[in-house]
Amino acid sequence: MSAGRSLPHDSAALHVTGDAEYVDDIAGPSNQLYIAIGGAQIAAGRIRSMDLSQVRLAAGVVDVLTVDELPAATDIGPVFPGDPLLSELDVSHFGQPMFVVVANSHQLARQAVLLARVEYDAAEPVLDVETAMRQRSYVRPPYTMQRGDAARELGKAPHRLQGKQRIGGQEHFYLEGQAAVAEPGEHGGVCITSSNQNPTEAQHIVAKVLGVPMHRVTVITRRMGGGFGGKETQANLCCALSAVVAVKHQRVVSCRLSRRDDMLMTGKRHGFYTEWDVGFDDEGQILAVSFTLAGMCGHSPDLSDAIVDRAMFHCDNAYYYPAARIEGLRCKTNTVSNTAFRGFGGPQGMLACESMMDQIARHLGKDPLEIRVRNFYNTQTRNVTPYHQKIEHFNVPSMVERLRSSAEYVKRRQEIEVFNNNNRVLKRGLALTPVKFGISFTVKHLNQGGALLHLYSDGSVQLNHGGTEMGQGLMVKVQQIVAHELGMAHSRIAVTATRTDKVPNTSPTAASSGTDINGAAARQAALKLKRRLVNFLVTQHALSSEQQVVFSNDAIHAGSVQYSWESLAHAAYMERVPLSATGFYKTPDIHYDREAAKGQPFYYFANGAAVTEVVIDSLTGENKILRTDIVHDVGRSINPAMDVGQIEGAFVQGAGWLTHEELQWASDGRLMTDGPATYKIPAVSDAPAIFNVELLEDAPNEIASVFRSKAVGEPPLMLAISVFCAIKDAVHAANPMPADLDAPATPEAILRSITGDSRS
């Protein structure tokens, strides 16, 4: 049977031979045009004058466009307006697109951009979230969730602590940058091939920008060389600009951002400033908590409303708060508009929570794991979240117990103490942290999926659905689901490029829900096709019962007659049975009243736990992960190899966010970390030397998800919080009264914390 097997990624061979086609591999016609974007050289202020005459005269330049040449809508804000495709006179971040150069090659277009002469009236940019907070400068109004009377319970608590933490953002650093190719079509339409997590949204935006109905625009995505949330809304820029130029010049147009432009012009993970005020008893059991979570949204809303919401939904992580008040702020800064990034705000809320847990433990002189365990939800009495969703299934406590023994937590804790007593410079640290991550888009309408299945008369199947492939293995998993349902060899099924003209009105491939919703939709399509084939066979062979038709082992049995897929497809075709089916799925039972901050936004939770041991050098702040053990709950896995790959990759990406990767802006608002020389993503050697990843066994999802599997894309990123907490543990071994440790825990930050040289 296909589901549950560790099939290789459907593009694995293509990936390693270089035959997998990405947007920039598409061979265009010889008269293809290329564009480059001219970005603002200030972060805030106004354009006084813009002289593009030298740009127009540069070698190979065919056209130069500003906002005045755009045909229809000029704002590409995905949810709320605020993202000018090309700026008018106001500038709100460094690198903001101002004009487009169209030339005969990317290189000529990029060279011409440099010839622009622009004068500005620069204003003082706001470059950090605390300044925006003080000025009450927001892209969206503040929003609060509460349960119980946190202020009153805080006042009565035997112990009370306040803490704060700055949390850095993160560049997506997908290996394939933003790219789109637009081909003009009839009636002012266009067909765009784009590296894109959200083809439908691109279709919608391009239609608005061109001033044509959506039916004139087709968007195709075969695969991305990584998306990580960075191609959910940020792919729209290349799509919209290439479409405008393609329609204007009636030629194929390529837009592919240089790495530097990509880093300057497209959004990243939100940095956060977080504060907590917590009351607890002598045992460290939390009685009440108040959080302020302030996200650095950049200059416009983009998806920040939902992202800060998700941070708020995850500052409880796995812990019950008898009373809680959670305030989320969407701070406006003169930086690029921040966007979706694996975890979608969840990691930032969860890190604030886990930092608070550490602080409580240190205050009481207890092991942080003891405090964590003491505060876990249970499903009987301590089972209501701050947003009033009940926790009905919860396997975090048993997973943590399992990990505590399999990773020898207690023994290693003692060994580390001995090591630290015997080493003055090197200090080791250990931490075990859990993850509980809510699965579903918290915006209800996005929780739907669609699929289209064709059985051709030779018995081969072509499958299409609304999800996009970004390396996560969505296509092979959906292929396995359909193969399983049809009892068919998976090799008969070709999953083809995602296209807005095959499955319409799709949701972004995001919120880890790709398989949950598109796999379920594809399954519905397979069931529909199967039903028609059963009816056909029952009639054809005058069978007394449908039970006499069996699909298995890549063949079909109708009573005593056996068909191959070739013979059945041909026979059904000859009898004029429709062999194409659509499938649709919407997640049941979810609702959230944002006004009241009450409801059931999540269909279920994905869970995991990690123990990490690190070593730091207390003189230099250097740090290294020595060992990580993970137990993660993917329900009944559809493809264990893909799932383990997702867990390993997400963990390392999360560890990069919390230890190496640091965004820095110059005082004029220019991003200084604008390439791999200045922005350090993890290398292979940064993965834990000992890395034990285990899928929780015999744990089918209690909720009726597709084949009882669980989403895996984002949740394991937050297992990397164990790295941060382990570093903090090591810092405490170096100095029992260190200054606050902000994220990322770079060598500089670690050293500042040890020496007590706090930045503020």
Q: Which is nearer to ligand MOS, 230 or 487 (CB)?
A: 230
Least distance to ligand QUE from the beta carbon of 692, Å? 29
Count of beta carbons in the 10 Å neighbourhood of residue 755: 14
Per CB under 6 A, the list member of 165, 420, 646, 705 interacting with ligand MTE is 646
Residue whose C-beta lies closest to ligand MTE? 514
Interface mask toward ligand MTE for 438-467; x: CB under 6 A: -----------------------------x
Residues contacting 677, CB < 8 A, separation 6+? none
User: Residue 441 touches which of ligand QUE, ligand MTE, ligand MOS, none (CB < 5 to 8 A by kind)?
Assistant: ligand QUE
Alpha-carbon gap, residue 613 to 110, rounded angstroms: 46
- Spatial CA neighbour of 584 closest among 497, 468, 466: 466
Binding to ligand QUE, residues 213-242 (CB under 6 A): 232
Residue whose C-beta lies closest to ligand MOS? 229
Alpha carbon 63 to chain centroid, angstroms? 36
User: Residue 514 touches which of ligand MTE, ligand MOS, ligand QUE, none (CB < 5 to 8 A by kind)?
Assistant: ligand MTE
Q: Which is nearer to ligand QUE, 394 or 441 (CB)?
A: 441
Alpha-carbon gap, residue 346 to 317, rounded angstroms: 9
Per CB under 6 A, the list member of 177, 226, 368, 716 interacting with ligand MTE is 226
- Exposure string of 156-170, with b = 16+ CB inside 10 Å and e = fewer, is ebeeebebbbbbbbb
Per CB under 6 A, the list member of 509, 607, 637, 701 interacting with ligand MTE is 509
Q: Which is nearer to ligand QUE, 330 or 362 (CB)?
A: 330
Least distance to ligand MOS from the beta carbon of 342, Å? 5
Least distance to ligand MTE from the beta carbon of 651, Å? 12
User: Residue 261 touches which of ligand MTE, ligand QUE, ligand MOS, none (CB < 5 to 8 A by kind)?
Assistant: none
Q: Which is nearer to ligand MTE, 551 or 679 (CB)?
A: 679
Least distance to ligand QUE from the beta carbon of 78, Å? 6
Q: Which is nearer to ligand QUE, 11 or 304 (CB)?
A: 304
Residues contacting 93, CB < 8 A, separation 6+? 40, 43, 44, 298, 299, 334, 335, 336, 337, 669
Amino acid identity at 578: P
Binding site for ligand MOS (CB under 6 A): 197, 229, 232, 340-342, 344, 510-511, 714
- Spatial CA neighbour of 93 closest among 153, 44, 27: 44
The verdict on whether 595 is a catalytic residue reads no
- Three-class SS string for 154-185? HHHCCEEEEEEEEECCECCCCCCCCEEEEEEC
Among the listed ranges 387-395, 439-447, 546-554, 613-621, the one in contact with ligand QUE (CB under 6 A) is 439-447
- DSSP of 234-276: TTHHHHHHHHHHHHHHTS-EEEE--HHHHHHHS--BPPEEEEE
Collapsing DSSP to helix, strand or coil, 355 comes out as helix
Per CB under 6 A, the list member of 391, 474, 533, 751 interacting with ligand MTE is 474
Alpha-carbon gap, residue 500 to 506, rounded angstroms: 8
Collapsing DSSP to helix, strand or coil, 534 comes out as helix
Per CB under 6 A, the list member of 34, 228, 377, 441 interacting with ligand QUE is 441
Least distance to ligand MOS from the beta carbon of 437, Å? 11
- Spatial CA neighbour of 477 closest among 499, 495, 456: 495
User: Residue 443 touches which of ligand QUE, ligand MTE, ligand MOS, none (CB < 5 to 8 A by kind)?
Assistant: ligand QUE
Token representation of residue 753: 């914390």
Binding to ligand MTE, residues 685-744 (CB under 6 A): 713-714
Q: Which is nearer to ligand MOS, 303 or 733 (CB)?
A: 303
Per CB under 6 A, the list member of 47, 50, 443, 681 interacting with ligand QUE is 443
Q: Which is nearer to ligand QUE, 252 or 446 (CB)?
A: 446
Alpha-carbon gap, residue 169 to 340, rounded angstroms: 11
Contact between 508 and ligand QUE by CB under 6 A: the answer reads: yes
Least distance to ligand QUE from the beta carbon of 207, Å? 15
Per CB under 6 A, the list member of 170, 440, 498, 512 interacting with ligand MTE is 512
Alpha-carbon gap, residue 308 to 112, rounded angstroms: 39
Q: Which is nearer to ligand QUE, 303 or 625 (CB)?
A: 303
Among the listed ranges 323-331, 402-410, 435-443, 739-747, the one in contact with ligand QUE (CB under 6 A) is 435-443
Among the listed ranges 442-450, 473-481, 680-688, 730-738, the one in contact with ligand QUE (CB under 6 A) is 442-450
- Spatial CA neighbour of 584 closest among 644, 660, 656, 523: 523
- Spatial CA neighbour of 145 closest among 1, 303, 316: 316
Least distance to ligand MOS from the beta carbon of 264, Å? 21
Q: Which is nearer to ligand MOS, 165 or 472 (CB)?
A: 472
Alpha-carbon gap, residue 241 to 194, rounded angstroms: 12
Q: Are 138 and 88 in contact (CB under 8 A)?
A: no
Contact between 328 and ligand MTE by CB under 6 A: the answer reads: no
Collapsing DSSP to helix, strand or coil, 599 comes out as strand
**Cα–Cα distances in Å, from 98 out to 37, 52, 83, 87, 396?**
7, 11, 12, 5, 50
Binding to ligand QUE, residues 304-363 (CB under 6 A): 306, 310, 340, 344
DSSP tag of 80: S
Q: Which of 186, 485, 714, 748 is catalytic?
A: 714
- Spatial CA neighbour of 243 closest among 255, 259, 227: 255
Alpha-carbon gap, residue 47 to 50, rounded angstroms: 7
Query: What is the arrangement of strands in the sheet containing 190-194, beginning at the earlier edge strand?
Result: 61-65, 97-103, 33-39, 253-256, 179-184, 190-194, 217-221, 498-499
User: Residue 226 touches which of ligand MOS, ligand MTE, ligand QUE, none (CB < 5 to 8 A by kind)?
Assistant: ligand MTE
Amino acid identity at 367: D
Contact between 157 and ligand QUE by CB under 6 A: the answer reads: no
Q: Which is nearer to ligand QUE, 87 or 339 (CB)?
A: 339
- Give me the residues that bind ligand MTE (CB under 6 A), please: 226-229, 342, 467, 470-472, 474, 509-515, 646, 649, 713-714
Please identify every residue annotated as catalytic. Answer: 714
Q: List residues near ligand QUE by CB under 6 A.
A: 78-79, 232, 303, 306, 310, 340, 344, 441-443, 446, 508, 510-511
